[in-house]
Amino acid sequence: MGRFLCTLIIIASGCLGLSAHGGKIYKWVDQQGVTHYSEQAPTDKKTETVRINPHQAESESPQPLSMEAEAETQQPQLPGEADLNQQQLPTEQQKTEQQKRVQQQKRVQQQKTVQQQNCATAQQKLLALQNAGRVRQLDADSGEYIYLPDEVKLAQIQQMSDYLRDKCRG
């Protein structure tokens, strides 16, 4: 009976000590999507108060986790959990990659637009060369207009046709 009473007293005093721990634990998520727990709430973040089950707590008050310990506790235990966490919380790397993809798509669209404009200009020049009897151009050296010989005119028609065939399909 004495042993039973001692065991009961020890268990009761342990439970009282655990429930007497009245400190609050705060939880928040930083810009990188990492969840933090601490006894002190950050001033610049929105926090949640975490309720601690006294039956699972240690007899000492919990200490804030170091960055290394926190990183270890954040690692998923099962292989499938890593994929789930990556899908739920986009990391900075994923955001950067998404921004790069968007910028690449914009560049491709701009190149297509410029190519379409170049094709339209080449088509207009080809029609002008084909429909004109005599073609005159401004001479870059003298600044005067000169009439193109038929050989030069035919060469330019061929050049525009080749450009349209090679660059302006569709």
Tell me the domain boundaries of the chain: 23-88, 104-167
Instruction: Summarize pLDDT for 147-162 with one digit per residue, the tens.
Output: 888 888 889 889 989 9
The predicted model scores a pTM of 0.40
Determine phi and psi for 134, rounding to 5 degrees. -115, 140
From the number of C-beta atoms within 10 Å of its C-beta (0-12, 13-18, 19+), residue 160 rates as buried
Give tens-digit pLDDT for 27-64.
878 888 888 888 888 888 788 887 776 555 444 455 55
Residue 131 has pLDDT above 70, yes or no: yes
